[in-house]
Chain A
Amino acid sequence: MKPGSLSTFLRTGAIWAFVLLELAFFGIVGDMVSTSNTPFLAPDNLLLTLKQAAPIGIIAMGMTLIMINGNIDLSVGATFALAAVVLLDSMSWPFMAAMGDWAIPLAWFFALAVGALLGAINGLIVWKTGVDAFIVTLGSMLGYRGLVFMYNGEQPTSNLNWTLVDFAEAQFLGLHTPTWFLLAVTLFMWFLSTKTVHGRNAYAIGNNREAAVNAGIRVGPHMLINFVIIGFLAALSAVVFYSESGSVNPNDGQLYELWVITAVVLGGTKLAGGSGNVISTLGGVIAIQVLRKGLGHMGAATETVNLVIGLILIAVLFLDRQLNVKGREALKT
């Protein structure tokens, strides 16, 4: 084993160990406390967990890439909502309504296109103005949310299409449609980030932006592409989720950015950029969902869930630091 690979293993493998720990805890302690008569570890329950992790998970894959690239996107919740509004509203446009169920793929396309467009706006602003992505997306988080409201006043936008619902609720090989989407996106993003030139350049840019510039990597377009990807994925998440639920409140998706970032950070991706991987992010996403569900299973109240998730986030950060610290010899700055 090469020096450093142990800590690398801990960093990448730790989240899965944590997931197993959670499963064991809720499987044993949870079942003792719980009033429910089905065990927490029932296969159906685990499959549901995956399905329910999908909306956050799909966005988290995009956020991983954005954070590897050295940026952050706070506007994903609003993009999610706006794409959902477009998805559901477009199906009731006269020409679309006339198309019957053929309107569905078109509506999906519209929603995904809007997501990609919103991402592109963020990306372009970050690229062309040089304003930090945190600020740009903090702004568009407000702005896009405003657009959601302006689209349909303060009313929910609804379109319940049972064909769509049936598709979204379907199970194939035991896995739900959203789970398949989550896995497909994970696989795709894994491929993109580890195998393609774009992906490797994204790491290089996040790791040392100046070096990347000096080496002739065009930083701007890469960032733009990544913002388009996360916008697209936020919209895909909306497509997957709202195909099933059929109605979006203008406030939906609020705080999603925080959940997504939490999942990505639990998965070990550094905010500073340059490191992280989507497989660990998947672990982070599942860890949160299991935690939430397990606490619910035990009958914990909302406040307890908040408290626990907040403290776990801090604890993970602390442990990560302890694992990576160079020991007593380190420079004390």
Chain B
Amino acid sequence: AQQYTIGITQNNVGVDSYQTTYEQAFIAAAEANDDVQVVVLDAGGDVARQIAQIEDLIQQQVDAMIIWPTNGEAVIPAVRKAFQEDIPVVITNSNIAEQGFDFIRSFSGPDNITQGQRAAEIMCDRFTEMGIEDEAQIVQISGQPGYTTAIERAQGFEERLPEVCPNVTLVETQPGDWNREKSQQVMEAFLVKYDDIDGVYSGDDNMGVGALNAARAADRAGDIVFVGATNFAVGYEAMEAGDYWGSIYQSPVDDAEAALQTALDILNGEDVPFLNYFDTPKITQDNMGEFTKPVF
């Protein structure tokens, strides 16, 4: 077969295990395939650096490009340049804004709005089971402000919750920046401020565990239903221990492999759906046996 060079610029490797595992999985998948060579770049969370990397990849005339955007809008002009140079672009993990859709071939990743919705359902179901669906009060700890995944998850959650549990009130949302320590601080303040917290929705399990730690320290963990997203190993363990209720199972390995595959499919002239979601099922204490423990 033909030899392809595919470039990827990632958001911020090393900031959490998900992104690191993604990178490793991506490299492993590429090595396993003799047809591809990859140029792996990391923007370190900096938009300017990412735009520069996109330009570099264009300049290096890669055959296709995969982008994990640091900012869903800021990369659009750079993506347009790739488009103008006839380099197919696949967006991975976190989508770009709609204005850019003309310039990309596909988005490959989780459906974050659905994830938010599913988290709302998990939360609501649990409240119903406990019989507090009419009076429960919850707080939300969202991801990094301005980051598409964070916005979409919060949006999905906030839209869906009133549909399934109209009487549950979301009393406050604060960002935890995908950061366990930050989230722990935010939760500490919530615990002081509100005597009655029945549930916590966190933009990912990393933050969720931070919130759990805070609640544990205040001896209130037992009263609170913790629901997260992106089931990290720590979240899985906390579920095993019975402290953490549910999450969304999302594998960075699936994520990375799907992105690479999407790019290859495009290069091989196959038809790929524009929004190429991979499945991210609900996981709770009840069904966690069906899932293997996340490796990250």
- Chain A residues with CB under 8 Å of chain B are 35-38, 42, 44-45, 48, 51-52, 55, 149, 153-156, 158, 160, 165, 168-169, 241, 244-252, 292-293, 296-297, 299, 301-303
Contact = CB atoms under 8 A, between A and B. Distances in A.
Interface string B1-14: 00001000000011
B56 A169 contact: no
B51 A244 contact: yes
A45 B56 CA distance: 7
A301 B59 CA distance: 20
19 contacts: A44-B59, A45-B56, A45-B59, A48-B55, A55-B48, A158-B73, A158-B97, A160-B77, A168-B77, A169-B81, A244-B77, A244-B78, A245-B73, A246-B77, A247-B71, A249-B74, A251-B144, A292-B49, A297-B56
B60 interface: yes
Contacts of A154: 145-146, 175
A114 to B, nearest CB: 20
Interface stretch (B39-47, B108-116, B193-201, B255-263): B39-47
Contacts of B5: 35-37
A51 B48 CA distance: 11
Contacts of B71: 156, 245, 247-249, 252
Interface in B139-154: 144-147, 151
Interface in B239-278: none
B59 A246 contact: no
Given A160-B99, A244-B77, A303 B56 contact: no
Contacts of A169: 77, 81
A104 B77 CA distance: 17
Contact of B77 (A38, A245, A251): A245
Most buried by B among A35, A36, A155: A36
Nearest to A155: B146
Main secondary structure on chain B at its contact with chain A?
Answer: mixed
B76 interface: yes
Given A52-B52, A155-B146, A246-B77, 8 more contacts: A44-B59, A48-B56, A153-B145, A156-B74, A249-B47, A250-B145, A251-B145, A302-B13
B78 A245 contact: yes
Nearest to A289: B52
A160 B79 CA distance: 13
B53 interface: yes
Interface string B66-98: 000011111111101100000000000000010
B38 interface: yes
B42 A48 contact: no
A248 B61 CA distance: 28
A64 B30 CA distance: 45
A222 to B, nearest CB: 31
A303 B14 CA distance: 8
Nearest to B41: A296
A36 B59 CA distance: 10
Given A156-B146, A246-B73, A301-B13, A37 B60 contact: yes
Contacts of A297: 56
B175 A165 contact: no
A142 B99 CA distance: 33
B56 A296 contact: yes
Nearest to B78: A245
B37 interface: yes
A86 B227 CA distance: 37
A281 B24 CA distance: 38
A149 B177 CA distance: 14
Given A37-B5, A154-B175, A245 B47 contact: yes
Most buried by B among A155, A297, A302, A303: A302
Most buried by A among B39, B52, B53: B52
Contacts of B99: 160
Contacts of B56: 45, 48, 293, 296-297
Nearest to A153: B145
B73 A160 contact: yes
B197 to A, nearest CB: 22
Nearest to B38: A35
A160 B81 contact: no
A52 B48 CA distance: 8
Nearest to B73: A247
B84 to A, nearest CB: 10
Contacts of A251: 144-146
Contact of A248 (B44, B74, B80): B74
A52 B61 contact: no
Contacts of B55: 48, 51-52
A241 B61 CA distance: 23
A245 B145 contact: no
A48 B53 contact: no
A35 B39 contact: yes
A51 B13 CA distance: 25
Ordered nearest first, which 6 A-B pairs have the shortest CB separation?
Answer: A154-B145, A247-B73, A249-B146, A247-B74, A245-B74, A52-B52
Given A154-B146, A302-B44, A38 B59 contact: yes
Contacts of B13: 301-302
A52 B55 CA distance: 9
Nearest to A154: B145
A173 to B, nearest CB: 18
A51 B59 CA distance: 13
Contacts of B147: 249
A245 B146 contact: no
A323 B236 CA distance: 57
Contacts of B39: 35-36, 299
